[in-house]
A and B are shown apart, each in its own frame.
Chain A
């Protein structure tokens, strides 16, 4: 492929690279550098620590659970917002962004008050929701919900109704149309919403600390453990944990990206 230089290339690329470097690459490089200079054996110690392992696995598991929950719930919200005109739709649409606007600590506090054993909703549920793993997933779902809705909405709006009408005229039931015609076209957007949701949930800290109870081996998440390590002046341990979480998250995002490519391009026979 030949490379032709388009007008404005140098300037725009320069600004982009500078911004990316200062805001993303530099902090990541510092993390890597710090990890290289960490005491020998830190990684080994951190990796075999059962508390760390439990926290990492729980963080990933809870983030995946929250992202999966949002996949279904968020898709449904997007569908309703796009397809059904109802009074108050614009308000409902604006409310979707609320989890982004709310300080996450407030979200955590509110959720634990609402879903606590004496809370408005909590006292209706026969099993405890707060201060256990369900609470963590609940908080993570709340803070990452907008991603699925917002990635799906524009695609849904652009989806021509005629394509579904064509399927109906060809004898396809509503379910068959949804499964064979609508969903495949939404798949790329759903997956990217899922990936964003997951990424947001893995890094979430503020809301979780208020709803989880922070019990080691039970509801402790990896970001919290990093803070704990920092408070104990175990900087090397914190860095090691950060690098491990970062690598796992990158791995998960990369596999979602692969799925995206698999579904993203229209399939061929």
Chain B
């Protein structure tokens, strides 16, 4: 286990930011901390880096208690949402910084540093940008430089705080894939904080969903999507229709698990309020006679087969219903 988080609690001004959080992050894995803003995920990341201190509990890195260590001694690479590059230094100087500030005894020679910087610039595909200043780069380029800078010191752990949050959707998608490939090559234990479930699902080996200062569920992205542990996770990860109250709580169903039919024996009557068919899926908004509105996703072939238009009446039935206890809020 590379990082073990034990009973971590952090309070700030009467508010509990982290509430007895436990989490194991395996060596060499890429874990996403997914949650809405204010769920405590960034604070957890900053505590792992030593930038903030917990009130209770501890963080073990490779079995070694690191809670009392300064950030300088933890060998973590930290990448910030807003890059935090040194604005007065060139790209090369930024990347070399961590090596150049090493104590004389362990500092590599000038040639070694230069070679290492060249290697990292090649890795982030910015060989020819070494002399540029951060202000002369695009957001995506800046974040790649920030990553190279963090990797230069060969950290034990790489911590990414919403690294793509400030970028355009297209650049974000590219960098996401690039990060995944980078991780496959470097195998550095990585923790990625994000509020974007798509990002977490696409990049991470394991996702930890956080809500209200606690970790609600840890698991493989697919398991979290298919078997959410709570109503919060069900609704935060992927879309979910809230159906009706049952004895044990509330019943939910995913939009792609809604079966549509023109046959009255197959479910409840509904009217089609809106049809959006862009891309491979058609997204339908349905209104039941009770006034409840539901989403249904189906392939465009199926849509064409059923000949559904806005305003049509049809019948809907969930193929799979999940029930969660009512103790939640978003």
Contact = CB atoms under 8 A, between A and B. Distances in A.
Interface of A: 160, 162-163, 165-173, 176, 180-181, 184-185, 266-269
B76 A169 contact: yes
A169 B75 CA distance: 7
A114 B236 CA distance: 68
A163 B49 CA distance: 14
Contacts of B86: 163, 166-167, 180-181
Nearest to A267: B88
Contacts of B28: none
B163 to A, nearest CB: 13
B156 to A, nearest CB: 12
Nearest to A171: B72
A166 B77 CA distance: 8
Contacts of A168: 51, 70-72
Nearest to B51: A165
A232 to B, nearest CB: 53
A269 B93 CA distance: 8
Interface of B: 49-51, 70-72, 74-78, 80, 82, 84-90, 92-93, 97-98, 101-102, 131, 133, 135, 146, 149-150, 152-153
Given A165-B78, A167-B97, 15 more contacts: A163-B85, A163-B86, A166-B85, A166-B86, A169-B49, A169-B50, A169-B150, A170-B97, A170-B101, A170-B150, A171-B102, A172-B72, A173-B72, A266-B89, A267-B88
A195 B135 CA distance: 27
B87 A165 contact: no
14 contacts: A162-B84, A163-B87, A166-B86, A166-B146, A166-B149, A168-B72, A170-B150, A171-B98, A171-B153, A172-B72, A172-B98, A173-B72, A266-B89, A269-B90
A157 to B, nearest CB: 16
B82 A171 contact: no
B19 to A, nearest CB: 24
A168 B72 CA distance: 5
A181 B86 CA distance: 7
A172 B78 CA distance: 13
Contact of A165 (B71, B74, B133, B146): B71
Given A266-B88, A268-B131, A162 B82 contact: yes
Contacts of B150: 169-170
Contacts of A173: 72, 101
A166 B78 contact: yes
Contacts of A163: 84-87
- What are the nearest 5 A-B pairs in CB distance? A170-B98, A162-B84, A266-B88, A172-B101, A169-B78
B82 A268 contact: no
B175 to A, nearest CB: 18
A268 B134 CA distance: 11
B133 A176 contact: no
A171 B77 CA distance: 10
Contacts of B85: 163, 166
Contacts of B78: 165-166, 169
B84 A165 contact: yes
